Structure 1
Amino acid sequence: MASSEYTTSATRGDSILQVENLQTAFFTDKEVIRAVDGVSFDIERGETVGIVGESGSGKSVTARSIMGLIKSPGRILGGSIEFDGEELTTKIEKEYRQIRGGDIAMVFQDPLTSLNPVYTVGNQIKEALRLHQGLRGTEATKEAINLLEAVGIPDASRRVKEYPHEFSGGMRQRAVIAMALACDPELLICDEPTTALDVTIQAQILELLQEIQEDRDLAIMFITHDMGVIAEIADRVNVMYAGEIVETAPVVELFENPRHPYTRGLLRSIPGNTPDEDRLTTIEGDVPTPNEPATYCRFAPRCPKAFDECDKVHPVSLEVEAGAEDHTAACLLYPEDVSQERAIELHREAETESEEEL
């Protein structure tokens, strides 16, 4: 910790997932891309935690790291992923298969990537039931129909015999959610599951996820670039930029009192949030490729609040002010209840402590 007064994170209660200093990189012929670079967060039982940021910020790589789906040329370089008190990063593939699907399930952006076109939807759900719950035959068919009904698919006894191409986009996404639920997971990771859907279907899917969560006390990690979706579904939010989490806060606090300049930029870019301006507000520039160790603020080249030290000091996540344990920001402007010189010193101290721990 940087000091007894300003901490880097809160000590939370019944966390089912704890990610600490996760580092995942991809090794190419030309460079090493640090897609996830020192990410830490946790998720409690029955809670929805949002991961938000522009494309290329590391959201999906974080999810795939948790699921054990990082393939060559990528690999996890360091950090800890603890699920229900069990360390995942040390497991071999055979051990990971018991957790993937059974304890942690994932819903991807495009349901067609999760559904095999040559098998009926029912057969694919029954396969998950066989692998993770030991159900076969009539019993598995009955449960597959129950799951399709649970996710709001009408005439489930007929639809269970149909193929993915016979389902609409929204129905396919519901079927994928049913497949995930067939594994009876404790944590559901949703990687932009509503992006390809129209607004009406999107609202139905979000409502469905909330109902399932209440019924099963399910923890959800919801990844998106849509701040409106985050406002609808999340309890807490982690804002990612260039492989790092730059702000963490409860969802209402984040929308009412965003602190990091990047978060403010994301919120200002939502249509309707700046009605007095003639044009839609955007964040100038692009997310950089994190191909070198972060010895500075990666957002500084795009930041309207940047000053000289931003190019020299790497900010870490600290409380935005004393006592604000649930609201942290990786920005040299914070903690805001101390002088700027002291804030910079606190970030230097925290960064040094973090390096010593490694």
Structure 2
Amino acid sequence: MTVARRTLLTGAAATLAGTLGGLALPATARAATATRTAAATRAVPAAATVTGSTPGGQPTADWMGRLDAARPLLGLTVPGTHDSCCTDPAHGTEWSHTQNWGVPEQLTQGVRFLDIRCNGLQGTADELGVYHSDAYQYVRLQDVLDQCRAFLTAHRGETVVMRLRNENAGGQALDPAEFRRRVDHYLDDLGYRPLFHLSGWPTLGTARGRIVLVADFANDWGVIQWSSGSNAYFRTQDLWQTDQLFPLRVKGRAITQQFDTAAADPASSQMYVNFLSYAGGYWPKSAEQTLMDQSVYPYLTAHVGRPARYGIVPMDFPDFHVNVLHLLIDQNFTA
């Protein structure tokens, strides 16, 4: 990715915030669209976020514990979040606001993939802070790790897959060697190494109680290496901007095609990743609402019961889309 999402969005806000499918709308139409989007967001029943179980009867805090320990992680459907700690628009702007639930609530509600992006933490020599581009989210890496450890200690059958990215932005940007040194500081000096699985895609039994590290930073450690495209470990769909007409339709097709491709490739040695999030001039809330309504939810409901794994599926605002979160969890229990 050559342009930081936050940079793109703040620069494009004035001209693109009122677009639908890439075409400019009159002011009255923009207002009506915004009203419908807000109403759709509010319409999600609050009780749906705290039921503690899916329609299929799986407990959201312990759904992995109901799966066979011999299941490979590559064979699962893993709901996740994109820019997992960006919960407050005051820490950036509304354009970089992607979540309402914090990490503990995400994990309790069934999320098992976290997208953690770090720069150097200002005023420290060794620590990492969570950032959206150059905007500090007032969360330290050790806060996230401690929250994950507390959850995994209380829910022994679960695991968390964590993408740890060198955000390399703003005044706290770190070069590859310094970022790697600081990660080592966390692993060894601060004692977090036992919390991690560090050697390729494991079975669920091997991963239970631990964080499976996915490195999105330069290293020669032999750990799982992230790719926003394709490499030995991943096959990723992350179309977050396009200059084509009707961009959310284009993104929606990319999402459903990735679901189809993953379903048709059950023995793959690559983890499929299918980002449901989109930037490209839209508020994350409105883009996600449109994609869920027009593409994601219709696709998943049309394929309920199909024995398929979809891989990692990161999204924005799962609290607004609990129905999709539950469908992804229940997908792991199809025959």
TM range (shorter): 0.3 to 0.5
Structure of greater Rg: 1
TM-score using structure 2 length: 0.33
